[in-house]
Amino acid sequence: MRDIALVAFLFAFIGVGFRKPFLFVLCFCYIDIVAPQRLSYFLINSIPISLIVFGLAIGGWLVFDDKRDTRWSGRQVLLLLLLVYCGITTIQADFPVEAQDKWSWVWKALVWAIFLPLTLRTKLRIEALALIMLLSAAAIAIAGGIKTAAGGGGYGALQLLVNEDFGLYEGSIMSTVGISIIPLILWYRRHGTIFPPDWRVSLFCFALCFACILLPVGTQARTGLVCLVVLAILSLRAVKHRILYLVGGALFVAAAIPFLPQSYTQRMETIEGYQSDESASTRVAVWKWTWDYAKDHPFGGGFNAYLQNHVRVHMAAGSYDPDAPQSAEPIVYEDQARAYHSSYFEMLGEQGYPGLALWLLLHGVGIVQLERLRRRYRHTRRAEEQWIAPLATALQHGHIVYMVGSLFVGIAFQPFIYMMLALEIGLSTYVRRREKESGWRPLMARPAQVPARQGFPGSPPA
């Protein structure tokens, strides 16, 4: 019955979508993040639902949507260059068959990131995309938070809706994403209009933030703890009462420590000494192998080039696992075909120095552009523009947290971050278009007789 209901909903949605093509865009974002077809037993699994909605979204925009005020950004050009370069390295990959498997979804993530900003013509659309991203991630975060609060979890043991490590359903990846969306959740609590701020919205947002904080505990992902610390430091820029914030944070940590599972605290202690942990020691060895590999293959080996690695790991005596046999002698073992476990080394090994440079430039420019928006609009007194600086700050903090988490997780092509990039590009192009068409300049006084406007001349409906 669940499969039949999903099919019926899909056809009904298609009928409505031809009248409002942006609904196809939001639907694909939800499908790409949550992958609801994987929750199905048999029927939806046999239908390429993602590809169908992908085609409907682009086709609906081309045929029905208003494109008079669309703008291209330099970051979209960078995304196009990265797409072309990845296509070339895929053709010349060391493992052509395995490279094609990854390329089959990477190209869609990149094309979608190039296309998505073209649809973000209004504030309502920008907010709708942010809301869909939050609710889609929330479907996974809430499930993980409830299971963690009920005493479940464990490294590699916490199941997030589906019993497989796919996309955001992998513990370290979801922990990174969960922490990175907390600033966006708090932004929506204050500036959202689709669900106007009230006590119910605030309660849901705070509960969702708490569920996201529980994810690193339930998954026991060290990456999540690092991301949480980085977010706490970044938040000092945005809070008004910093001393109160620091004292409250310290009290929260002190109160939470007694309730943390012993296995979690023991695993977090391995951050200080990676050589006594097998997983961390292997990662460092793979990174060294990738660095040496890039010296001989400066243009990379294509997707999944790690399959050829063979590393020799020297691990110090001792283990964070109290049940493991203890030894005073160092442990030496060999491993092969181990994943990069770092987006930076993933790009270096698969796309070489040019691909890594493009990738770093893409994210670096985005973070700098958000900082420019934050500074230009943080002191505005116009009510219709007071959401811009907080959104730029939230996206910037989330982006930085994601990039820090990427140091320890191979998520260079995770679709979620490219949707976040598209949201950032859409915000920038919307603001530039608004300034140009209204003739307004930030930090310049307007004549007193000019009333505050809710939009800008020529602003189309959502």
Q: C-alpha distances in angstroms, 267 versus 9, 320, 362?
A: 44, 6, 34
pLDDT at 405: 92
Which residues have a Cβ under 8 Å from the Cβ of 121 and sit 6 or more positions away?
Answer: 66, 69, 70, 430, 460
Helices (H), 257-334: 262-269, 278-296
pLDDT at 44: 63
248: left (phi over 0), alpha (psi -120 to 50) or beta: alpha
Cβ count near 101 (within 10 Å): 12
Contact 141, 151 (CB under 8 A): no
Give the pLDDT confidence of 285-319 residue by residue, as tens digits. Answer: 889 999 999 999 999 999 999 999 888 776 665 54
- Among 25-29, 234-238, 245-249, 256-260, where is mean pLDDT lowest? 256-260
Alpha-carbon distance of 174 to 389, in angstroms, equals 27
Mean pLDDT of the residues in the chain = 80
Residue 86 confidence (pLDDT) above 90? yes
Which residue has better confidence, 61 or 111? 111
Cβ count near 198 (within 10 Å): 8
- Among 3-12, 38-47, 262-271, 450-459, where is mean pLDDT lowest? 450-459
pLDDT at 384: 82
Residue type, 351: Q
Contact 392, 357 (CB under 8 A): no
